[in-house]
Amino acid sequence: MKIAVIGTGYVGLVTGVALSEIGHVVTCIDVDPSKVEKLSKGIPTIYEPGLEELIKKNISSGNLHFTSEHQNGLPDAEVVYIAVGTPQRADGAANLDYVEQAALDIAANIKQNIIVVIKSTVPVGTNFHIKNLINQHTTNGVHVKIASNPEFLREGSAVKDTFHGDRIVIGTEDEESAEILAQINEPFDTPIIKTDISSAEMIKYSSNAFLATKISFINEIANLCESMGANVEEVAKGMGLDHRIGPDFLKAGIGYGGSCFPKDTNALVQLAGNANHEFNLLKSVIEVNNNQQVLLLDKILNRFGNIQGKRVAVLGLAFKPNTDDLRESPALVMIPKLVSLGVSVIAYDPIAVNNARKQLGTEISYTEDLTEALKNADFTVIITDWPEVKKADLSTYNQLMKEPIVFDGRNCYDLDEVKKATMEYYSIGRPDQAPELIS
């Protein structure tokens, strides 16, 4: 089937490449000519394991094309996916400007009846709004059907999630559209859930809000564990063995980040408010996460008092491993606060350094070498649990730092191994490992 995908951001690019891989002829459209030029040469514009190989393979096969001209991708398309950004507005609501512009571009360029599929995360009711917008601006009598097909990709494993996901949700107005989209997605060999459009829109927000709630809940438990001498990892294990709860997203740390959870939780609160419903639970989830992102700073100040003039190694800039995405990363909160307190920061990340420079500027130093970051540091702060950090020999901290003092926001190390290393170690929801406590 001939498919067009508008937007080559995270969702659009992965979607377009995956659809080409299962045999469809896909044209990905983006208004940024520089992105299109790179992608046409097989150079991905985001970091995602396995994506580059699939881009090159399907360009070579003739199944995958990139263009910055809507008239090159839309007239022959049978199905058009909208996968543009819906950034958060100041009031927390989703900004639909890019989705609406995509609708206008579709209306101006389609030549036949099509199904428009909204892949972007949008509030309930958006699909019908977009359908009406397209119909109001088409001039050649074509018929447009609308569908909601939310994405459930995890950054760092998006390619794997596309081909081996938990479910594919398809929300349509009619059975014929649902069947066409089911046939398009059938090669993914993933369970397909057919719903009405409003339910499909709500499934996306509800899923992300629930996962964010699990994270904030276990972080609150972690903070309570610290006060009462318990170990949150043992608590989470005991909880997770209950099949009604499950072990996923019960890992304590310094909060969630990324492009989805913060934006979608805020948007759902705003959406609820518009419906005269106070979503108090989710407001608390957001508040807990905001507090959690600066939790390590309190631990640092409790340990040192004045940290002016000290050198700190910050390990990890991306909001999670296997991505170069810094959106809502705790690093963007922690590092400016450390700098404001007079600390000299050297930040390590194996992938995200270039993106970080654009956001954090030149007030700090950057490196892709873990040992360079640790050398002569007064203390270390772990923000992202990169494999390189988790697998590091703990003796490295003793060898390279002035003193082996580590504040771990991701609970990377086993406490028994920490004790053997005789390092000073502060984590989340677990007993501190300080020299006076170890002896």
Q: What positions carry a catalytic annotation?
A: 260
Is 153 annotated among the ligand-binding residues? yes
CB proximity list for 270: less than 8 A, separation 6 or greater: 91, 92, 93, 94
**φ, ψ (nearest 5 deg) of residue 267:** -65, -35
Rounded CA-CA distance 279/281 in Å is 6
Is 323 annotated among the ligand-binding residues? no
Paired with 365 in beta bridges are: 346
**Secondary structure (3-state) at 134:** helix
Paired with 381 in beta bridges are: 314, 407
Is 86 annotated among the ligand-binding residues? yes
Is 57 annotated among the ligand-binding residues? no
Is 252 annotated among the ligand-binding residues? yes
CB proximity list for 151: less than 8 A, separation 6 or greater: 11, 15, 83, 119, 121, 204
Is 420 annotated among the ligand-binding residues? no
Structure tokens at 277: 């419903």
Is 419 annotated among the ligand-binding residues? no
Is 9 annotated among the ligand-binding residues? no
Is 257 annotated among the ligand-binding residues? yes
CA distances from 268 to 122, 198, 202 (A): 10, 14, 9
Is 283 annotated among the ligand-binding residues? no
Is 320 annotated among the ligand-binding residues? yes
Tell which residue, 145, 271, 146, has the closest CA to residue 208.
271
Is 357 annotated among the ligand-binding residues? no
Rounded CA-CA distance 43/66 in Å is 12
Paired with 120 in beta bridges are: none
**φ, ψ (nearest 5 deg) of residue 329:** -70, 140
Is 8 annotated among the ligand-binding residues? no
Is 175 annotated among the ligand-binding residues? no
DSSP string, 248-316: TT---SS---SSSHHHHHHHHHHHHHHTT---HHHHHHHHHHHHHTTHHHHHHHHHHS--TT-EEEEE-
Is 145 annotated among the ligand-binding residues? no
Rounded CA-CA distance 8/110 in Å is 20
CB atoms within 10 A of CB 189: 10
Is 105 annotated among the ligand-binding residues? no
Tell which residue, 5, 37, 39, 10, has the closest CA to residue 20.
5
Structure tokens at 170: 């398809």
Rounded CA-CA distance 203/205 in Å is 6
Cα dihedral 135, 139, 141, 144 sign: negative
CB proximity list for 428: less than 8 A, separation 6 or greater: 219, 222, 226, 232, 252, 253, 254, 295, 408, 409, 410, 411
Tell which residue, 113, 115, 168, 102, has the closest CA to residue 146.
115
Q: Which residues are annotated as part of the binding site?
A: 30, 35, 86, 121, 152-155, 204, 249-253, 257, 263, 320, 327
Q: Which residues are annotated as part of the binding site for NAD(+)?
A: 30, 35, 86, 121, 155, 263, 327
Q: Which residues are annotated as part of the binding site for substrate?
A: 152-155, 204, 249-253, 257, 320
